[in-house]
């Protein structure tokens, strides 16, 4: 029976068992998170190998998804304790994120440039991104380096450096004819961007990264490296 599968087991006190009885997981888990705070909640749930990231089946009461996700956490923990963990080394995380982002920017610049010429920004990028927020990020960059202008204002490749990962998704989606030969399948590209972006934000903001996030991110990073022909051997990939 489904309820007897290992990913459905958890050690909890009898009074807690009675408290959650006949309630949706999304309901009682949210109450626990609010009561103890995000940091403590994440630490305790991770100790029980319970996935609680934004994609967790807990929040949508999706039992099958939760079961698969927790099984992935179990397997990752077994591999880790057996000394065969395939987790990304801490010192490689930030450089890997940077390598994928640079690869995406270069690919966007080259493909749009080849298709439309290197004045592509106005017609094929601008309407798909928040230009006001982009200008604010560029202004902040100038303030930090003590300058008031530079190629970041006009050079499309330089401007791409100030976009968000999800901006790259919008650009590719709305110019798919330029990218289908590289990324093959739009659904695969969307999934890879989503998984990479979750990992990227956690790395850049020093957030906790559980095995599920890392597992998906590694798959996304490998997918991107193959689609864009990036050499990531220096990072063990």
Q: Evaluate if pTM is beyond 0.95.
A: no
List alpha helices for 9-151, DSSP H: 14-20, 25-36, 38-47, 63-81, 90-116, 121-124, 131-145
The tens-digit pLDDT sequence of the chain (237 residues) is 566 678 778 888 888 888 888 899 999 999 999 988 888 888 888 888 888 888 888 999 998 888 888 888 887 778 767 766 567 888 889 999 999 999 999 999 999 999 999 999 999 999 999 999 999 999 998 898 887 777 778 899 999 999 999 999 999 999 999 999 999 999 999 999 999 999 999 999 988 888 888 889 999 999 999 999 998 888 877
Number of CB atoms found within 10 A of residue 134's CB:
19
Contact 123, 174 (CB under 8 A): no
């Amino acid at each position: 029976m489904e309820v007897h599968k290992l990913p459905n087991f958890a050690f909890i006190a009898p009074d807690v068992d009675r408290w959650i009885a006949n309630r949706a997981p999304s309901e009682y888990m949210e109450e626990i998170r609010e009561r103890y705070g995000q940091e403590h909640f994440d630490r305790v749930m991770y100790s029980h190998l319970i996935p609680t990231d934004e994609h967790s089946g807990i929040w949508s009461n999706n039992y099958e998804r939760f079961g698969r996700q927790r099984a992935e956490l179990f397997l990752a923990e077994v591999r880790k304790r057996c000394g065969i963990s395939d987790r990304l080394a801490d010192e490689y995380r930030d450089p890997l994120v940077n390598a994928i982002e640079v690869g995406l920017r270069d690919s966007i610049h080259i493909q749009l440039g080849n298709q439309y010429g290197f004045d592509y920004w106005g017609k094929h990028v601008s309407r798909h991104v928040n230009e006001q927020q982009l200008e604010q990020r560029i202004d902040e960059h100038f303030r930090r380096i003590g300058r008031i202008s530079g190629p970041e204002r006009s050079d499309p490749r330089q401007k791409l450096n100030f976009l968000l990962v999800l901006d790259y998704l919008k650009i590719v989606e709305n110019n798919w004819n330029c990218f289908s030969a590289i990324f093959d399948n739009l659904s695969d590209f969307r999934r890879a961007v989503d998984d990479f972006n979750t990992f990227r934000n956690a790395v850049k903001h020093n957030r906790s990264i559980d095995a599920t996030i890392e597992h998906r991110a590694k798959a996304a990073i490998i997918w991107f490296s193959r689609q864009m022909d990036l050499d990531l051997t220096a990072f063990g990939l």
